[in-house]
Amino acid sequence: MSEPLTLRELDAIGVGRLKGVGDKKLESLGSVGVESVLDLLTTYPRRWVDRTNEARVSDLEPGHEALVLVSVRKVTKRVTRNRRTMVNVVVGDGSGRLHIVFFNQPWRERQLTEGLQIAVYGKPDVYQGGLQMTNPIVDLIGDRTGRIVPIYPQSEKAALNTWEIAGWVEDALQRCAARGIADPVPAGVRARLGLIDRHDALRKIHLPDTMRDKEIARRRLAFDELLRVQTVLVMRKRALERDSLGIRHVVDGDLTGRLRAALPYELTAAQRRAIDEIEADLAGPHPMHRLLQGDVGAGKTLVAVSAMLVAVQGGHQGALMAPTEVLAEQHATGVRRLLDGVTVADPGSLFGERQLRVELLTNRITGNQRKDVLAGLADGTVDIAIGTHALIQDAVAFDSLGVVVVDEQHRFGVEQRAALRAKGDGDVVPDVLVMTATPIPRTAAMTVYGDLDVSVLDELPPGRIPISTHWANGPLMEEAAWATVREEVAAGRQAYVVCPLIEESEKLEVASAQDTYERLAAAELHGLRLGLLHGRMSSADKEAEMDRFRAGALDVLVATTVIEVGVDVPTATAMVILDAAPFGIAQLHQRRGRVGRGQQPSTCWLVTAASEDPDATNPRVDALVASTDGFELAEVDLELRGEGTIMNTAQKGRSDLKLASLRRDRELVALAREVAFELVDADPLLESNPVLLDELRLLFSADDEAFLFKS
């Protein structure tokens, strides 16, 4: 047994076998998800304290934040007059004494026992002649020696402290020393990327000699996490390509050319690039699996229609699936307008051709109309189907589905995409284009959509004037928003008012929209022609109201979130978003994208409740005020929300990123993806790298990644 230890072997050794882990500690560790030595070794320190580099108490200066390493001398607790608990602690090092007070943290009395070594970070003030810190950050160090002390996530509840964890980790690492720990990254790749050996990295992250050591270790271990994710994604991508037979579409046919010729504008360079990338996929033998990212208004619809026409010109059908009925309806209107007058060959008819047929299929299409659409889909006389989930119901059969476009990926599950793909005939899998108007940063896209190819529309059609955005912090400033609306209307233009979103109940949402409508009609926007649009109206009523707005018979459209996407009225130049605070950056950006579509400058007001603090900021609102670039905003969003939200559907459980960050480790994400392609393309089933393959099998679930477990 001299082979290095694999992660699977480390996972098979219970932590109970380590020195000092008895039944009670075993239970504590279990309660924080640490059962095996592997779990323990991948419980990384959350901070490291450099003993040689910290201030001594005598170096502290009032008003300057600093870290000191001290021992606890005395702890007392009392309750203040206004019933707050106050824990007073005297700490010190050889150079002097420091007072610490904790308010409302009664448990500190139990935590900070006399003699304990702690690291204290905070801002000292002068108090009664001495120095005092209030509510500083405290890390327990215990009796650890060494220059750099790792601080592990501690759990008061589980009764685990950092020095215990550090001790067990050290014991575990010592026991691994004889055999070493297996490394899945080939030596050549390590050398090229300047990555240290994995065993070394594990030692250095837990027991670094210098702060630089642990940085080098972190880089290596973060790379491992990313490499695993990327390898799975790349294998999934290659497996899909290998296992499925696609249609070789006719890309130089008649229809796409005619569409282009009929457009009243030139394609943007980005649209041309995306169409070329898509057509290259469509012409190939494997089914396309591509993501089209583009900001609101970048012109995705045209790219999607062009892709569907490729299918149609080869005698196949196209389908566009949207997340809501309203959106599907809007797409149908838009696509019909684009394809008005386009004909397709029809040998059976008198003139040898017929009008290209676009049909809508949602749950609102019922009775004979539905029968008619279904029959047309089945016999191939419907060329393009636009709909909601209704399109993937069992009863829907296509004659020959060639290209599927899925709009707004984030609301569609992977399963639904799969169901739609399965609508192809026989063994042939349709090509799939996923569109999203919520741009996500490149590195995040590589991870979340890592099994897709990505096309980006990073350019808006010419002539768009950036929207100027303002924050109305409370009713006083809200008045300025209404003034904008009145001015725009007086100048012959139009405005949207977006009503608060009430997630719990559509009924409440409608009631609130009605209130807003009545209030505005009676007061702020008195005398203007107001329309109301909400989710409980029939689609005919909605359509009628939209038509009136489009035709200029209404000045202001008061609407719930139904106008989120797809509405296109170039003369609308003002938008007031009420109660903007709860919305995410992407949602606000989407809504705002409804203005700024014409020749005149547009304005968007984001209204939030007044804050008591006049200096209060709202980072999301600030971001929107500062930028109209969806990709830039996506970066900010990732920064603000962290990757958790992005990753949660893509990765879960043990394949989580513990060290790697999609924000900070952009370079590593790209490198990991590159290496993953290199490894998989040289050896599709990873037969020559059993260590890596075994790690993937260990850390990813069989349900999600069936292909890993084949063969």
Coil vs helix vs strand at 559: strand
Choice from 437, 559, 633, 679 touching ligand ADP (CB under 6 A): 437
Q: Least distance from C-beta 609 to Mg ion, angstroms?
A: 31
Nearer to Mg ion, 631 or 707 (CB): 631
Q: Least distance from C-beta 622 to ligand ADP, angstroms?
A: 24
Nearer to ligand ADP, 150 or 294 (CB): 294
Q: Least distance from C-beta 601 to ligand ADP, angstroms?
A: 17
- Looking only at residues 285 through 344 of this chain, which bind Mg ion when binding is defined by CB under 5 A? 301
Nearer to Mg ion, 512 or 590 (CB): 590
Neighbouring C-beta atoms of residue 507, cutoff 10 Å:
11
Which DSSP string corresponds to 197-253?
-HHHHHHHHHS-SSHHHHHHHHHHHHHHHHHHHHHHHHHHHHHHHHH-B-----TT-
What's the rounded Cα separation, in Å, for the pair 112 and 451?
Answer: 50
Cβ atoms of 260 and 313 closer than 8 Å? no
> Which residue's Cβ has the minimum distance to Mg ion?
301
What's the rounded Cα separation, in Å, for the pair 580 and 400?
Answer: 45
User: What is the contact mask toward ligand ADP in residues 519 to 558, using x (rule: CB under 6 A)?
Assistant: ----------------------------------------
Q: Which of 631, 606, 629 is nearest to 619 (CA)?
A: 606
What's the rounded Cα separation, in Å, for the pair 62 and 126?
Answer: 6
Neighbouring C-beta atoms of residue 401, cutoff 10 Å:
28
Q: Does 184 bind ligand ADP (CB under 6 A)?
A: no
Nearer to Mg ion, 318 or 424 (CB): 318
Q: Least distance from C-beta 460 to ligand ADP, angstroms?
A: 8
385 contact choice in ligand ADP, Mg ion, none (CB below 5 to 8 Å, kind-dependent)? none
User: What is the contact mask toward ligand ADP in residues 440 to 479, using x (rule: CB under 6 A)?
Assistant: ---------------------x------------------
299 contact choice in Mg ion, ligand ADP, none (CB below 5 to 8 Å, kind-dependent)? ligand ADP
568 contact choice in Mg ion, ligand ADP, none (CB below 5 to 8 Å, kind-dependent)? ligand ADP
Applying CB under 6 A, the span of 137-145, 248-256, 299-307, 465-473 interacting with ligand ADP comes to 299-307
380 contact choice in ligand ADP, Mg ion, none (CB below 5 to 8 Å, kind-dependent)? none
Cβ atoms of 457 and 466 closer than 8 Å? no
User: What is the contact mask toward ligand ADP in residues 243 to 272, using x (rule: CB under 6 A)?
Assistant: ----------------------xxxx--x-
Q: Does 568 bind ligand ADP (CB under 6 A)?
A: yes
Radius of gyration of the chain (CA): 31
Read off φ and ψ for residue 547, nearest 5 degrees.
Answer: -60, -40
636 contact choice in Mg ion, ligand ADP, none (CB below 5 to 8 Å, kind-dependent)? none
What's the rounded Cα separation, in Å, for the pair 69 and 516?
Answer: 58
Nearer to ligand ADP, 36 or 268 (CB): 268
Nearer to ligand ADP, 568 or 632 (CB): 568
Q: Least distance from C-beta 337 to ligand ADP, angstroms?
A: 9
- Looking only at residues 267 through 296 of this chain, which bind ligand ADP when binding is defined by CB under 6 A? 267-268, 271, 294, 296
What's the rounded Cα separation, in Å, for the pair 366 and 388?
Answer: 14
Nearer to Mg ion, 227 or 327 (CB): 327
Choice from 290, 300, 442, 591 touching ligand ADP (CB under 6 A): 300
Coil vs helix vs strand at 435: strand
Q: Does 512 bind ligand ADP (CB under 6 A)?
A: no
Residue 96's DSSP bridge partners are 93
268 contact choice in ligand ADP, Mg ion, none (CB below 5 to 8 Å, kind-dependent)? ligand ADP
296 contact choice in ligand ADP, Mg ion, none (CB below 5 to 8 Å, kind-dependent)? ligand ADP
Q: Least distance from C-beta 396 to ligand ADP, angstroms?
A: 25
Q: Does 297 bind ligand ADP (CB under 6 A)?
A: yes
* Inter-residue long-range contacts of 280-284, CB under 8 Å, 24+ positions, other chains counted: 281/431, 281/453, 282/247, 282/249, 282/251, 282/307, 282/310, 282/311, 282/403, 282/431, 283/248, 283/249, 283/251, 284/246, 284/248
Cβ atoms of 562 and 543 closer than 8 Å? no
Number of residues that bind Mg ion (CB under 5 A): 1
Nearer to Mg ion, 488 or 564 (CB): 564
What's the rounded Cα separation, in Å, for the pair 332 and 249?
Answer: 24
What's the rounded Cα separation, in Å, for the pair 357 and 142?
Answer: 75
297 contact choice in Mg ion, ligand ADP, none (CB below 5 to 8 Å, kind-dependent)? ligand ADP
Q: Are strands 117-122 and 137-140 parallel, antiparallel or unpaired?
A: antiparallel
State the DSSP code for 655: G
Cβ atoms of 560 and 601 closer than 8 Å? no
596 contact choice in ligand ADP, Mg ion, none (CB below 5 to 8 Å, kind-dependent)? none
Applying CB under 6 A, the span of 22-30, 53-61, 72-80, 298-306 interacting with ligand ADP comes to 298-306
Nearest 10 degrees: CA dihedral of 252, 254, 256, 257?
Answer: 90
- Looking only at residues 420 through 439 of this chain, which bind Mg ion when binding is defined by CB under 5 A? none
Instruction: Calculate the alpha carbon distances from 387 to 335, 357, 393, 407 in Å.
Output: 12, 14, 11, 10
Which DSSP string corresponds to 89-110?
EEEEETTEEEEEEEES-TTHHH
Instruction: Calculate the alpha carbon distances from 148 to 46, 55, 232 in Å.
Output: 13, 14, 36
Q: Least distance from C-beta 438 to Mg ion, angstroms?
A: 12
Choice from 29, 302, 557, 607 touching ligand ADP (CB under 6 A): 302
**What's the length of the chain?**
711
Cβ atoms of 513 and 537 closer than 8 Å? no
Q: Least distance from C-beta 146 to ligand ADP, angstroms?
A: 56
Q: Least distance from C-beta 295 to Mg ion, angstroms?
A: 10
Q: Least distance from C-beta 568 to Mg ion, angstroms?
A: 8
276 contact choice in Mg ion, ligand ADP, none (CB below 5 to 8 Å, kind-dependent)? none
Number of residues that bind ligand ADP (CB under 6 A): 16
Task: Return residues touching Mg ion (CB under 5 A).
Answer: 301
Binding site for ligand ADP (CB under 6 A): 265-268, 271, 294, 296-302, 437, 461, 568
